[in-house]
Structure 1
């Protein structure tokens, strides 16, 4: 976990939703509708998809989450997904060649400048920062 740095500004994009598989492509489409503000859009879509998929896999379908994208007009974009379980932390692992899962955080780690977790008493936020492309 890395230091989150200064508190993020008000989000440019914020959406409360239930973490279900059909929400992943819907979220990607919603971000595309705001494409004029987001660069690099494919990396942002990848990050939100992986973070939302982690919630579905590890906390269960139907978990309420909040997705935020902040800083669309600065030199860094912050992507954050907040869920109601402060104890279930994502772990970066090395997936083997035959593993069908376990690559999501490795992808996020590869495309982001940094990422981390903010824990509160009743929730956690997993975030990453991308350089504006």
Structure 2
């Protein structure tokens, strides 16, 4: 049975660090640490920052969901700007931003996005090594 951690943050840059700490705490509780934990935290920060910066809905909240299901760890970041889907684009060296999805593409096993009735969700999936799964919580 999957284990899930879900939380919301206000759509403001100052809350990205709070979300990063919450993701880190969940991963640590599940035993997903070291390199994979660092990658998931980095990509969570990128996806949450994208949601915060690009969502055009005033006073919105960003929903973050982590799900550990056997070897699969899924990170989902949702915001209510359902019609503004992310696109991967080529950045030039002088660009100050625009590399977040390139990082997600390079570091996640898979990623994508979907439109929901009142939101969009950008997700990334990772494979958790067997050693880390031994520390994962069991559903009761």
Match of 1:58 in 2: 54
User: Aligned equivalents of 1:58 and 1:42: distance in 2?
Assistant: 24
Match of 1:119 in 2: 115
What is the aligned residue count? 124
What value does the CA root-mean-square deviation take over the aligned residues? 1.9
Question: Which is greater in Rg?
Answer: 2
Unaligned runs of 5+ in 1: 1-8
C-alpha contact (below 8 Å) 2:2/2:67 kept by paired residues: yes
Higher-helix-fraction structure:
2
CA-CA distance at 1:63 after TM superposition: 2.5
* TM value normalised by structure 1: 0.83
Q: 1:33 to 1:120 in 2, by over 3 A?
A: closer
Which deviates more from structure 2 when the two are superposed, residues 95-104 or residues 38-47?
38-47
* TM value normalised by structure 2: 0.80
Unaligned runs of 5+ in 2: 130-140
